Structure 1
Amino acid sequence: MRDIDEFTITTAVKQMTGPKADPRLREIMDSLVSHLHDFAREVKLTEAEWFQAVQFLTQVGQICDDKRQEFILLSDTLGLSTLVTAQNNRKPKGCTEATVFGPFYVEGSPLYNHGDDISNGAKGTPCFVTGTVKGLDGKPVAGAELAVWQSDDEGFYDVQRPEVHEHQARGRLRTRDDGSFEFRSILAVPYPIPHDGPVGKMLDALDRHPWRPAHLHFMITAPGYERLITHIFNETSDYLESDAVFGVRSTLVVDWNRHEPGVAPNGTAMTEPYYTVSYDFVLNPEA
């Protein structure tokens, strides 16, 4: 241990892990140390660059709070979130694909009845959402819980607006006996991820934009089935080919249909244009 140099340090660090360490933790940390040290040697990392990285990670932590998770944004924009999601959500053909969770999910959103307006005052063009939840065998999944959340027409989630003190454009529903669901919300729009912090500065330095295509978040849970975290995307949206967090899947891109004023699918008389979108989710049974 006294003759440590840039090459022997890697083995020395790994040998310091004690025999009582959890085997999985040992495996992860050994690999992390090996790759981290190889990276530093490969790019010939300078002390100034190392300190800049420390400052960056410190700033990422300092901006996090109960309404903003900058580390998730960092993971999303580096593609790590998508990589972990993909390798942990391999599903049989026919199942709905999973995608990134995002940093704006909130526990305990209101439980709504079918047809209710979950926007709850959030600004945007009305949009009526329908669909079904089925198993891979085609049978409807009754009582599945759908958590839904989205931004308003200015690209902000309710938790990003300090003047909003209640849930808006988010809620939960449970599917009917035939697996169907319906609710009213607002039209999804493209928006930039928060880029006023260290992750935004990183994107600027890399000549990358912070924009996400228009999408609606879903988390679906039901007994006997794997949890599904996914989005549906608007076919006509910008940024489908350059999503800042790499969340788009072609199977999740669908049409949002515009309608002139008239009678909406739920019988509501609409005096303004509105949109409809429908998607049928297919869950994978638990092993």
Structure 2
Amino acid sequence: MTGAGRGMGLECARRLVGAVDRLLLVDLDEKTATAAAEDLSTAARTTVVEPYALDVTDRDGLAGLAARARELGTLRAVAHAAGISPTMADWRRILTVDLVGTALLAEALRPLATTGTAMVCFASMAALFGKTEPQPAVEATLADPLDEHFLDRMRAAVGADIEDTGVAYTWAKRGVHRFVQREAVRVGPVGARVCSVSPGIVATPQGRQEAEQHPSMRALVEQSALGREGRPEELAAVVAFLLSDEASFLTGVDVLVDGGVRAGLAGRS
């Protein structure tokens, strides 16, 4: 479980307690990961919870994570919630953490994938907004996020607009959608699955930070079908389902969990 120290990541981790024998709580902040592990361990009867400090863009660190996962046994479930939003960094860092980091994590754990392994990567409903017409140069670049010149290629393909952090975030999350499709084909032959989940506006500290900077988010909530923000545990329930055997025929797809934002906008257009 990455991004496990707070918000949706922590709620996903909470749902996995009892579903797996060993649970690695991966977070950039070691203190946060340790505190989360202590919290979850109090309720864990059959699951051993272990904190693991890691930057998901660190190849060597990811190799260490994969080695630790191998030591613990069969890789059963991976929930990848680690990521940053538009107010948290510049465009290069957003693309690096949200998309390149996703590809690096999958690359590191791919050798451990086996029958029954399931992975869920967090994308965003933002990926479904903005320009929708085909952009071959951008799509070709998104297809290879581990290319050493990926960021420069994105700048060339998108243009100066990519330096807007909101635009960079949108493209990063679209890249997660595309990556999951390709990764599903790579791991499918061994019986493993991978999906993405696209949260809408969820009541988390990170979500509140974005809302403070972007008042338009409140309008989206008001126009949504349910007319409210999501709760972290509601996202966690969807992730838990996607990681479970009950979702054994779901792979290579994105699940939109937005409280009906898109439905609300479509109904008013």
TM-score for both structures, normalised by structure 1: 0.23
Structure number with larger C-alpha Rg = 1
TM-score for both structures, normalised by structure 2: 0.24
> Which has the larger helix fraction?
2
